[in-house]
Structure 1
Amino acid sequence: MAEFSINSFELTDKVVLITGGASGLGRYYTQAVSRVGADVFVVSYDDKGWDETRADVEANGRRVVFLKQDITEPGAAKVIVEKALEAFGRIDVLINNAGMQRRHDLVDFPDEDWKAVIDLNLNALYYLSHEVAKVMIKQNSGKIVNIGSMQSYRAGKFIYPYAASKHAVMGLTRAYADALAPHNIQVNGLAPGYINTPMTKALQEDPVRSVEIREHIPAGHWGEPKELMGAMVFLCSAASDYVTGVMLPVDGGYLLR
């Protein structure tokens, strides 16, 4: 039996394709994988954060290539995979990170917001996973990491399509894990808890809801983005080769209560 090595957490010379990898939590995931040796292909809706993300990756001695692409457009998945293969010749890891949330009262929820959220959070994730899986099957190796949420487990009042999409992401993660395991491809999810980011600033400043959330977290505080980075490296690396079909919460214990 091979001895355990700390090198199993490295991604030296691996290629990671990530959607939404230049802003928000996605930028931290990009930092994390490049810090342990990966080159990164970042797909973004716009060029926001590209310069800063390029500096992050190059400071770690790795390459990054950007593609401006709306991943919800018909045929986008094929374009993304073709461009990634042109740039790097292979895809070792796919991180399906891009997502959105829309909030309304039930009776006022617009059909167009339902469609927008489902198209990005679920449909685009499926189509890109499908195209990347074809590449990974030929390689007989690969990792797919889908970004879930606390709403993969909970009701998600007022954010109906978001809750529906994140529940579906968990189901798709399990189904793909089962189908791809014979090809040495592991499919898992990462479910961030309540994390301190600019997107959650308004919620953190809500005098009632912020207290409710903090009191619901056994760790007693909101998470910091850096606290997701180790879990992401684990799921992308050989250290998790015998882990598949799991949605890993990184939530300070939020789901325990």
Structure 2
Amino acid sequence: MNASFSSEFDLTGQTAVVTGARRGIGLAMAEALARAGADIIGVSAQLEPEGSEVEELVTSHGRVFTGLRTDFASTLEVAELGETLAEARVDILVNNAGTIEREPAAEHSMALWDRVVKVNLSSQFQLTQHVGKSMLERGAGKIIFTASLLSFQGGINVPGYTAAKSGIAGLTKALANEWAGRGINVNAIAPGYIATDNTQALRADEDRSQAILDRIPAGRWGRPSDIAGATVFLASRASDYVSGVVLPVDGGWLGR
């Protein structure tokens, strides 16, 4: 690769915050950013103090890792995280923390609804406010949300999750409208059907899993590592004129 071209993707000297970094897509995102040169602040509700998989992967690439625990269902804890991060120089914020609850809409309790919307949408905005203010002061920053195919579609038995992920798509555009002219790129990645804990129930249902595979032109479930390239692109100088985009990484699902 031409050296000047590859430098557009070089994140050396930058600090990236990745929420939901303990496993799955967040883990793959954190490793990808570290591989591109960024130091990583990983955040998760159950992140081990030492020796976590994400820490081992990040440090294996010669980068510095800092682990923080935050319950994204807690407004207080998210505010404390925001204050902590506001004191650091955060160049890249990846809002990936999330949860899902599967219940038919008629039986979906308000407690489940409130928790899903809190974790997947409200906390994302709350944290982005804190970090975004510091980015605005510097006139530079990259913010990446994890959206979903359900930012475009309705899904089945996941009304709270669909509402929240649809909100993430709208929030991405709203913040991009305000901040693109002030040096901050705000975009989102919409993963397709990825083999993670969140999709375990679907993959365990033989008929449902086959129906999903039949619609994916790529012919397979996605892997967390499939999200790596899009993450580095949206975090790097290569995407400086990309703003307000919800980028599907779905094996062709939406084009079917």
Give the alignment's TM-score, normalised by structure 2.
0.94
Q: Report the AA paired with residue 39 of structure 1.
A: D
Unaligned runs of at least 5 residues, structure 1:
none
C-alpha spacing 1:98/1:108, structure 2 compared with 1 (3 Å): same
Does residue 76 of the first structure (1) align with residue 77 of the second (2)? yes
In the aligned structure 2, how far is the partner of 1:71 from the partner of 1:203? 24
Match of 1:247 in 2: 246
Q: Secondary structure at the match of 1:208?
A: helix
In the aligned structure 2, how far is the partner of 1:73 from the partner of 1:234? 31
CA offsets, 1:197-221, max 9 Å, x none?
Answer: 2442332232211111011111111
Q: Report the AA paired with residue 197 of structure 1.
A: T
Match of 1:115 in 2: 114
Match of 1:42 in 2: 42
CA offsets, 1:128-160, max 9 Å, x none?
Answer: 111111010011100100000010000122100
C-alpha spacing 1:136/1:50, structure 2 compared with 1 (3 Å): farther
CA offsets, 1:94-127, max 9 Å, x none?
Answer: 1000001111122211110000000100000010
Match of 1:29 in 2: 29
Q: Report the AA paired with residue 225 of structure 1.
A: P
CA offsets, 1:52-92, max 9 Å, x none?
Answer: 21111111001111111213323434422332355xx3010
C-alpha spacing 1:148/1:30, structure 2 compared with 1 (3 Å): same
Q: Secondary structure at the match of 1:5?
A: helix
Q: How does 1:94-243 map to 2 (within 5 A)?
A: 94-243=93-242
RMSD over aligned Cα, in angstroms?
Answer: 1.6
Q: How does 1:52-91 map to 2 (within 5 A)?
A: 52-84=53-85, 89-91=88-90
Q: Is residue 151–residue 166 contact of structure 1 (8 Å, CA) maintained in 2? A: yes
Unaligned runs of at least 5 residues, structure 2:
none
CA offsets, 1:20-63, max 9 Å, x none?
Answer: 11222111111000011101111111225952211111110011
In the aligned structure 1, how far is the partner of 2:240 from the partner of 2:47? 34
The number of equivalent residue pairs is 253
C-alpha spacing 1:31/1:72, structure 2 compared with 1 (3 Å): same
In the aligned structure 2, how far is the partner of 1:194 from the partner of 1:208? 15
Q: Secondary structure at the match of 1:144?
A: strand
Q: CA deviation at 1:4?
A: 5.6
Percent identical pairs in the alignment equals 38
Does residue 9 of the first structure (1) align with residue 17 of the second (2)? no
The ranges of structure 1 where at least 4 consecutive aligned residues each deviate by more than 6 angstroms after the TM superposition are none
